[in-house]
Structure 1
Amino acid sequence: MLKDLLSDKNSNLKYMKVYNWGKTIIISGVLKYGAKFPSENVLTRKFGFSRETVRGALEHLEDEGLIRRVRGSGTYVSFKMEQSSKKKVGLILSYLSDYFFPRLYDGIKSIMDEENIQIELAVTRNSLNEEAHYLDKFLNMNISGIIVEGTKSSFPNPNVRLYEKLVGKNIPIIFIHNHYSNLDFDSIKMSDAKCSYELTKLLIENGHRKICGIFKYDDMQGIERYKGFMECMADNDIVIDDDCIRWYSTKDFDYKFSKSSMSSFYKKIKNCTAMIAYNDEIAYKYADFFNIKSEKFLNTFSMVSFDDAVLGEKDFKIISGAHPKEKLGRLAARNIIKMLNDSEWINHNYSHNFPVIISEGNSVKKVER
């Protein structure tokens, strides 16, 4: 039963990856109206998913009017970008297929539509070169303000001169999810360290002391989540076993979550009773893998995670720090609009940290000492 649920969960993640990727390259203008859209065969090879999964995503895109399929000819983009004199706000995001991206974007768009403001969307794929390209593009466009999700945000940013030029043109900038250590911009984000502290505390309160962790090292969220975990363990006089901590980045994602790599980590954490994972996608990947290794494993092993992004199954639900999704998007949009109307925006504070909210679930078991 559990194996079937995890399989369904994985299928849903795969479906959303294809759908989100397709939607993003269309609404961002990477593929314009009338351009040929990748075929089912091409997407099957690109993502390594089943034809059924890819077909479902294509049908969803077609239902939304983003693509149209022509028998004997192929699939084409049917979404046409509006050409207007609307005020424009740039939106820079890191990932194409991040699983809560559509809800975050919808939150931003709902406010922009109310104010008759057009979104100029850019996706960096967590590449600093791509970020530089879009910042330079915005410098030469009639952009009124910019919402940015930082790229490789755990490191100092080398595109500082481009940001300084934008500020020099009095273009307000606000970050979401993170910010750069060498750039002083306001940011709207989760309270990642506090959330991680509370999740770790929950595990400890249930008797867990041997806790492994998986964290992303090339963005600020990953560092903050590790920080909260580390501080809670220290406050409870629990030593962290470095062999039981796995770090990964955007570039080595495929390797770190290959079967061979997960098998290697599994051997190191066999004595652990719980895991804190960087996000729900990672948590469910490991839950699925653990269940294949040992069907009894998840009956005794506990897991917590972040984002509360994988919904719909009540029989197996990982306890997770909830990402605000639409709320974060709406607040970012409202604040950038306020900044557009504030001649002293650079001297005022538009930052916001969302409070910690832990979703309900059944993924934490009590350990008797």
Structure 2
Amino acid sequence: MQGRWPVGGRLPTEAELAQTYAVGVNTVRRAVDLLVEEGLVRRRQGSGTFVTASVAAGAKPRLIGVLVPSNTYYFPQVVQGIERAATAAGVQLVLACSNYDPDVEPAQIQQLVDVGVSGLLLVPNLHLAADPDAHLARLRELPVPYVLVERRPADPRPADPTSYVCTDVHGGGYAAVQHLSRLGRSRIGYLGRLGTASSEQVFAGYRQAIADLGLPEIPEAVARQPVWTGTDMLAYANSLVTEKVRAVVCLGDREATTLLPYLRRVGLTVPDDIAVVAYDDEVADLSEVPLTAVSPPKAEVGRMATELLLRRIELGPVAPVCRVVLQPRLAVRASCGAASGSLVEVRVPM
């Protein structure tokens, strides 16, 4: 026995420790009690005592774990921000991907803990979990510090201990409508997906802006579906003609890009007849008409989340809970008719 255990590792029993180090059981118990008070180990009823921190005071962690739901869309830029911050701090990453499957997350997180990471950056699939609150409660039992990335409790209770760094998605939906209104587009529709992590917040931002700015509500021009087919797109484009809609906010880039040829089929030109703003800014600039898009600060989210996690590791149990929300920007391109090639600050009324 070397007297060293990895983060997440189970300590020998008090009797075994007493025998190994030739001391009384009461002495071992008092020592373990001190470790519990310092947050270095945690007792689990019926399971034993487990290591919660392996970093000595003042020492730098050498390894952190990162769990994302996709390594192809949106999150590669977040990971780039994480990598830059980790490299600057001399820390290495262990990366895992859940592929939007909440059932595999516990095993993946446990594997990250088992390799000895000092902390975790997590993008849990809260929107897909049967019980998001229970999902978050399980995370609070982790033996290492963690920070949520682009996720946060939907309705946190007072004194909720969850730290996170995320984009103001609601504000992004609001800003898209606000921008179109300033361009003189008063009849604004909405096309989006259902069931994504951002779908409810973007739509809520759209609806609040319509109300705040006194714009007309057009139920026939508001459509949200889990999946969009060509038939659906054509029917929606025809409804825009019927309702004399002058602009559309789309979640996300793919849906906006798919809509463009159907607008052309029903005789609408972009941006002369109708303006289009997308949310995501992943492939918006590659569309046949480059799309104005709400652009989340993905790399900056990753960077700030990493720095927050490293700070939490350094401070240990006394680290304050931090909740960081970053405003997105609006990347202005040809699809809205405004001067393109600029980034506009999002300013949402409080």
Report the CA distance between 1:94 and its aligned residue: 1.6
CA distance in 1, matches of 2:298, 2:196: 18
Report the equivalent of 1:258: 229
Distance 1:247 1:314, change over 3 A: closer
Distance 1:219 1:146 in 2: 23
Q: 1:88 aligns with which of 63, 66, 69?
A: 63
CA shift for structure 1 position 229: 0.9
In structure 1, what is the equivalent of residue 84 of structure 2? 110
Shift of residue 97, structure 1, vs aligned partner:
2.0
2:312 is aligned, of 314, 339, 347, to: 339
Aligned residue in 2 for 1:360 = 332
Q: What percent identity do the matched residue pairs reach?
A: 13
Instruction: Tell me the residue number matched to 2:93.
Output: 119
Question: RMSD over aligned Cα, in angstroms?
Answer: 2.8
Deviation at 1:102, TM superposition (A): 2.5
| Alignment map for 1:156-175 (pairs within 5 Å) | 156-157=131-132, 158-166=134-142, 169=143, 171-175=144-148
Preserved contact between residue 135 and residue 163 of structure 1 (Cα < 8 Å): no
Number of equivalences: 270
State the distance in 2 between where 1:330 and 1:137 align: 23
Residue 300 (structure 1) aligned with residue 273 (structure 2): yes
Give how far 1:180 is off. Answer: 2.9
For structure 1, which segment, 275-284 or 154-163, has the greater mean C-alpha deviation from structure 2 after superposition? Answer: 154-163
1:129-208, aligned counterparts within 5 Å?
129-153=103-127, 156-157=131-132, 158-166=134-142, 169=143, 171-181=144-154, 184=160, 185-208=162-185
Q: 1:333 to 1:212 in 2, by over 3 A?
A: same
Determine the C-alpha separation between the residues in 1 that align with 2:313 and 2:261.
47
Counterpart of 1:165, as a letter, is E
Cα distance between partner residues in 2 of 1:322 and 1:160: 27
Local SS of the residue matching 2:202: helix
- Choose the corresponding residue for 2:200, options 183, 200, 223: 223
Structure with more helix by fraction: 1
Q: Alpha-carbon deviation of 1:163?
A: 1.0
Deviation at 1:219, TM superposition (A): 4.0
Q: Which runs of 5+ in 2 are unaligned?
A: 1-60, 339-350
Change (3 A) 1:323 1:339: same
Is the 1:318–1:362 Cα contact (8 Å) retained in structure 2? Answer: yes
How far apart in 2 are the matches of 1:293 and 1:194?
A: 32
Which residue does 2:16 correspond to in 1?
none
Unaligned 5+ segments in structure 1 are 1-85
Say whether residues 1:287 and 2:260 are aligned partners. yes
2: distance between equivalents of 1:162 and 1:139?
A: 14
Q: 2-side partners of 1:224 and 1:311: how far apart? A: 20
**TM-score if structure 1 supplies the norm length?**
0.65
Shifted more, 334-343 versus 323-332: the winner is 323-332
Superposed CA offset, 1:158-180 (max 9, x none): 434531320xx2x1111121213
User: What displacement does 1:182 show?
Assistant: 6.5
Indicate if the aligned counterparts of 2:169 and 2:201 stay in contact, CA closer than 8 A.
yes
Q: Distance in 2 between matches of 1:296 and 1:355?
A: 31
Conserved? CA contact 2:80–2:302, under 8 Å: yes
Contact 2:237 2:262 in 1 (8 A): no
Output the CA distance in 2 between the equivalents of 1:344 and 1:324: 29
- Contact (CA 8 Å) 2:270, 2:276: kept in 1 or not? no
